[in-house]
């Protein structure tokens, strides 16, 4: 899912909050008593994003095969993706393991943030914010040791999705956006079962690309991460995060911030192209 050129942070949103009315939030227009109207054109966009994801997601895995049986490295590679392209993040994990000689939770907990940072600075590539990455990795290793007896797989295996999200969200430098993205990837690629009703709790992670697609496709009134999250919940309450990967991929590959390649976009025949200059 992950996965992005720059998957930026997301403001925490209260999932228990009532859905705003159209007057309160123009990004969730044409909503009646919390339900989308059946003739809303946004439903066609929703269905196309979901179909696109299900058709192409498996062809674009996030987790490299070499880390599928190494849960510590796997989760480090996911939680550092906030400011890093996903492919760069995995190359960074490769380099960090080479620099440290390991990626063991007990050893990382016993290593100071300063020493982790020193090793990160020798990596190529390295994170855009090396100190933040060092703190995140140290905090994660400490959590794995203190709460999961050193087994990083325990972070998700057999746990309800909200518990997994809370664990990840509490880590330094991670936050709800990367937490939700991580559980999506774990479900897609590691057969993680989010538990009864778990998919309803899995939000999209609206980065620059996804939020831009949501706006141009008429799902929200402006490029607004919080409005995008609310719109996804209204449009696809059974699994709001199902809209995430398709929007990100289309934004990354076609719906560029400058001149979008609309003719190649999977939404080209149904997108209102809001804010896109004609020509």
| Paired tokens of 27 | 């990004």
Q: Judge whether 96 lies within some domain.
A: yes
Q: Judge whether 277 lies within some domain.
A: no
Q: Is the domain of 188 the same as that of 74?
A: yes
Whichever domain contains 141, its CATH number is 1.10.340.30
Q: Judge whether 10 lies within some domain.
A: no
Q: Is the domain of 181 the same as that of 74?
A: yes
Count the alpha carbons within 13 Å of 14 in the hemisphere toward its beta carbon: 5
Q: Judge whether 1 lies within some domain.
A: no
- Binned at pLDDT 50, 70 and 90, residue 100 comes out as very high
- Residue 160's Cβ-count burial label (10 Å; 0-12, 13-18, 19+) is middle
Q: Judge whether 138 lies within some domain.
A: yes
Q: Judge whether 40 lies within some domain.
A: yes
Mean of per-residue pLDDT scores for the chain: 87
Q: pLDDT digit string (tens) for 110-145?
A: 999 999 999 999 999 999 999 999 999 999 999 999
Q: Is the domain of 150 the same as that of 79?
A: yes
Q: Is the domain of 156 the same as that of 41?
A: no
Rounded distance, CA 39 to CA 214, Å?
Answer: 18
Of 198, 213, 235, which residue sits at a domain end? 198
* pLDDT surpasses 70 at 182: yes
Q: Is the domain of 154 the same as that of 220?
A: no
Are 11 and 224 in contact by the 8 Å Cβ rule? The answer is: no
Q: Is the domain of 47 the same as that of 115?
A: no
- Binned at pLDDT 50, 70 and 90, residue 35 comes out as low
Whichever domain contains 251, its CATH number is 1.10.1670.10
Q: Please calculate the CA angle 173-179-224 and round it to the nearest 5 degrees.
A: 85
Of 166, 181, 198, which residue sits at a domain end? 198
Q: pLDDT digit string (tens) for 231-245?
A: 999 999 999 999 999
Are 246 and 49 in contact by the 8 Å Cβ rule? The answer is: yes
Q: Is the domain of 220 the same as that of 234?
A: yes
Residue span of the structural domain in which 188 resides: 65-198
Q: pLDDT digit string (tens) for 136-176?
A: 999 999 999 999 999 999 999 999 999 999 999 999 999 99
Q: Judge whether 223 lies within some domain.
A: yes
Of 198, 222, 252, which residue sits at a domain end? 198
Q: Is the domain of 118 the same as that of 214?
A: no
State the pTM of this model: 0.84
> What total number of domains does the chain contain?
2
Q: Is the domain of 69 the same as that of 193?
A: yes
Q: Is the domain of 87 the same as that of 163?
A: yes
Q: Judge whether 234 lies within some domain.
A: yes
pLDDT of residue 57: 84
Residue 236 phi/psi, 5-degree rounding, is -140, 65
Q: Is the domain of 87 the same as that of 212?
A: no
Q: Is the domain of 92 the same as that of 168?
A: yes
Segment 29-41 shows an average pLDDT of 61
Element (H, E) at 97: helix 86-100
């Amino acid at each position: 899912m992950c996965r992005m050129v720059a998957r930026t942070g997301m403001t925490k949103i209260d999932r228990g909050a009532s859905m705003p009315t159209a007057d309160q939030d123009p990004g969730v227009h044409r909503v009646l008593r919390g339900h989308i109207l059946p003739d809303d054109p946004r439903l066609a966009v929703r269905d196309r994003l979901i179909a696109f994801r299900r058709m192409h997601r498996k062809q674009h895995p996030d987790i490299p095969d070499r880390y599928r049986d190494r849960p510590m490295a796997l989760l480090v590679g996911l939680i550092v993706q906030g400011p890093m392209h996903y492919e760069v993040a995995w190359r960074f994990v490769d380099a960090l393991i080479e620099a440290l000689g390991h990626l063991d939770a007990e050893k990382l907990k016993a290593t100071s943030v300063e020493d982790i940072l020193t090793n990160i600075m020798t990596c190529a590539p390295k994170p855009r914010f090396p100190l933040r990455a060092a703190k995140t990795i140290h905090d994660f290793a400490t959590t794995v040791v203190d709460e999961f007896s050193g087994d990083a797989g325990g972070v998700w295996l057999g746990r309800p999705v909200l518990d997994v999200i809370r664990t990840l969200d509490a880590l330094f430098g991670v936050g709800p956006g990367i937490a939700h993205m991580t559980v999506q990837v774990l479900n897609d690629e590691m057969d993680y079962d989010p538990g009864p009703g778990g998919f309803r709790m899995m939000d999209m992670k609206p980065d620059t690309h996804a939020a831009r697609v949501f706006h141009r496709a008429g799902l929200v009134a402006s490029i607004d991460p919080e409005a995008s999250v609310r719109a996804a919940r209204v449009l696809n309450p059974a699994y709001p995060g199902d809209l995430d990967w398709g929007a990100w991929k289309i934004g990354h590959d076609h719906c560029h911030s400058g001149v979008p390649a609309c003719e190649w976009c999977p939404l080209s025949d149904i997108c209102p192209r809001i804010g896109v200059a004609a020509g």
